[in-house]
Amino acid sequence: MDIERIVRQAEVLGLAAAAACVPVAITVQGIVYEDGNCGSAYFEFDGRSHFGRWYGQTHRESVGVRRRFYANLGGYQSVDRRTAYLKAFRNHLMQHGISVGEVVQVLD
């Protein structure tokens, strides 16, 4: 299994999903924010898995049993866009037999 190739493909699919996402706009004190709520999203994975070991080596950190993979999208603060990114990323991993947890949203 070429984990790096799978992750690169997942990143491309995730970025396309984030760009295509139309966040639910919010209004705060009469100001409309088209990008909706700010927040983050993550999924958990087993640090002992093939993906977990690759992640630990790639990011030069020790990986415990349960780890979190966050959507780091520099240009986006939208929780909707970050969730779209991670869902596409996660689905691609799962299609290649890499088991990870469900996507979780965290509002700022």
Please write the tens of the pLDDT for every residue from 71-86.
888 777 899 999 999 9
Which range of residues forms the domain containing residue 77? 3-101
Domain contains 108: no
Percent of the chain with pLDDT strictly greater than 70: 95
Average pLDDT over every residue of 79-99: 96
Q: Under 8 Å CB-to-CB from 8, ≥6 apart: which residues?
A: none
Residue 103, CA distances (Å) to 1, 26, 82, 90 in order: 23, 22, 10, 8
Domain contains 107: no
**How confident is residue 102, by pLDDT bands cut at 50, 70 and 90?**
very high
- The per-residue pLDDT for 61 is 66
Domain contains 78: yes
Q: Under 8 Å CB-to-CB from 72, ≥6 apart: which residues?
A: none
Domain contains 66: yes
The domain total for the chain is 1
* Residue 8: its H or E element: helix 3-20
pLDDT, tens digit, 9 for 90 and up, residues 45-81: 998 888 988 888 887 666 678 888 998 887 778 999 9
Domain contains 13: yes
